Amino acid sequence: MSFLDQEYREIITKAVCGKGRKFTEAEHAVSPSHRPSSILGCWVINHLYNAKKKSEDTVEVNGSYDINIWYSYNDNTKTEVVTERVTYCDYIPLSVKDDHCFSDDYDVIAKVIQQPNCLECEIDSHGNKVEVEIEREFVVEIIGETKVYAKVNPKGIRSDHHDEWRHDVTNDELRDVKPDFLGRKNKD
């Protein structure tokens, strides 16, 4: 039997037509306003991103985040927080791709698996900048139109299909029934 038989129907639907995943480590050099003595903390906040299909097998994710570094200076007698806004562009290859999608109008879904996070933060060898190593990870999906084939029951839907669901009371359920559940009146 072929898919063009009367027992099959072609259904056009949206489905996942491509998937990809990418882990990235990036290094940034941040210049504080004072020469740092030591690093007291580093955190990444305000992560924003958007994704678009770049080519047949690549998704481009553009984003930004703030790197905040708490450091001491003046021989560890004063502290300050320096904030630097960082932008990035990740190209995520599609490792799974369905060539049966027939639409050029794709939806792109990008999900963060690992939010940008500080792996390491240290003063550089010259002593005037702070080097920060950041990790992030994305998974992307391409949603497009495709065809699926469904087998049709040639007899149609049975009108008595509700009879297949039996609601018989089991012996265990009968054992739990209390015959006095309405209460008895005393005849005394």
pLDDT tens per residue across span 9-32: 888 889 898 999 999 999 999 999
Q: Residues 143-182: pLDDT tens digits?
A: 989 888 888 876 666 555 555 656 677 777 777 777 766 6
| Pairing state between β 36-55 and 8-30 | unpaired
Long-range contacts of 45-52 (CB under 8 A, 24+ apart): 47/112, 47/115, 47/116, 49/110, 49/112, 49/138, 50/110, 51/108, 51/109, 51/110, 51/138, 51/140, 52/108
Strand order in the sheet with 78-97: 36-55, 58-73, 78-97, 8-30, 130-151, 107-123
pLDDT digits (tens, 9 = 90+) for 33-77: 999 999 999 999 999 999 998 888 899 999 999 999 999 999 999
Residue 17: both structure tokens together: 């037509």
